[in-house]
Structure 1
């Protein structure tokens, strides 16, 4: 198998925007806010180009303090975004979300990077930053779903334990569905990227198993911690609303 990745020229890359512009044209024709799609596309381009240059700097620097700073930003921002589904409770629940994502995702990230992969040095940016992004982003999504469902169920006068269980179940649905579909319906991003780069599909499968377990555990632990740590706050909200 080839051990090199085919480089995409900018001219060739522009070809993929042909169907993209067709979709934007359909949205415009059907009066479905094409401006939002155009904004999202433009923002995506800028963000990915900037992060590409930024990651090159991080990888070349190989500085543990820079990597730690990146992880801190990831956890801080993801905790705030996670509570976007309950904006009126955001400031009150932020500390719980921050601790839950940091501890839940951090435990899993530590086991994966220091136990499974045994990175040397421990902060090896090429592995640490992408894996941290995966685990914290999925923990963020799980906590976000749980917070929204918990808030909704308590508003319906559901008791805390029932609402907690429903919220936990709702948060885990996307992750469980992904595990059920992987290999049959889809080849996830990491596995696809490694296969395209010439790595053996068997090796890529092992990495993907690691990633799926990481996502499941990180999301589950963060959600459970968030729901339990937020018991007092959610109970207080329920009493105020009644």
Structure 2
């Protein structure tokens, strides 16, 4: 893939300037947007150096530690929609995300890609991040809808169904849109790096299946584990 020089990287910010200028002229919070851009730049540069170090170490323990930290962080963030219930639901969210994301990641890396070694950080870290971020968003939607439905007097079964439907909707919409409305970043990156579009399409199919499975398994597990949080009968 063509390497982007620092000068060319700066050029990428040129279209950003008129947007910031208009925000300023219209007395809108341009400082927040500027801060977001600077933070994005710093975060990506830092993670770039971190991943370079991680890939060079090639240590199973370091990879496992990184994935564990990502799991705990994603679980905590996922409950932001029900912050008042976060302490009681955190263990459930972590368990659900570990099961759903872990299952999808295991099948993809060991059954489909068959990576060597099994802990190859160049695969596990990026794929794990994609899976956990997807599961995090789905659990967040499921938790918010579940809590809302229960507060409005719905039964556990009705609330569970509504919550699962809400959590899966973004993933299902992405399945409909991929390849027609959107060209995913992974597929675009592979094509730009010279990979055949047909091969890139296969990889993207694997990724979409992985995201759908992790979203569904994580949400379903979380909703089932949440039954006792609302002191509902054990019958499902």
TM-score, scaled to structure 2? 0.96
Written as runs of structure 1 = structure 2, the 5 A alignment for 1:48-197 is 48-197=44-193
Q: How far apart, in 1, do the equivalents of 2:58 and 2:17 lie? A: 39
Q: How far apart, in 2, do the equivalents of 1:97 and 1:76 lie? A: 9
In structure 2, which of residues 204, 210, 230 is the aligned counterpart of residue 234 of structure 1?
Answer: 230
Structure 1 portions without partners, runs of 5+ = 237-242
How far the C-alpha of 1:128 sits from its partner, in A, is 0.8
Corresponding residue for 2:33? 37
Partners of 1:160 and 1:235 within 8 A in 2: no
Q: Are residues 1:16 and 2:12 paired?
A: yes
Q: How far apart, in 2, do the equivalents of 1:145 and 1:56 lie? A: 33
What SS is found at the alignment partner of 2:14?
Answer: helix
Length, aligned pairs only: 232
Partners of 1:153 and 1:163 within 8 A in 2: yes
Q: How far apart, in 2, do the equivalents of 1:48 and 1:21 lie? A: 20
Q: Which runs of 4+ in 1 moved over 4 A?
A: none
How far the C-alpha of 1:158 sits from its partner, in A, is 1.1
Which stretch of the first structure deviates more once superposed, 124-133 or 13-22? 13-22
How far the C-alpha of 1:23 sits from its partner, in A, is 1.5
TM-score, scaled to structure 1? 0.94
Corresponding residue for 1:240? none
What SS is found at the alignment partner of 2:15?
Answer: helix
Structure 2 portions without partners, runs of 5+ = none
How far the C-alpha of 1:193 sits from its partner, in A, is 0.5
How far the C-alpha of 1:21 sits from its partner, in A, is 1.9
| Larger RCO, structures 1/2 (Cα 8 Å, 6+ apart) | 1
What SS is found at the alignment partner of 1:97?
Answer: helix
Per-residue Cα deviation, 1:202-231 (whole angstroms, up to 9, x for no partner): 100000000000000001000000000011
Corresponding residue for 1:46? 42
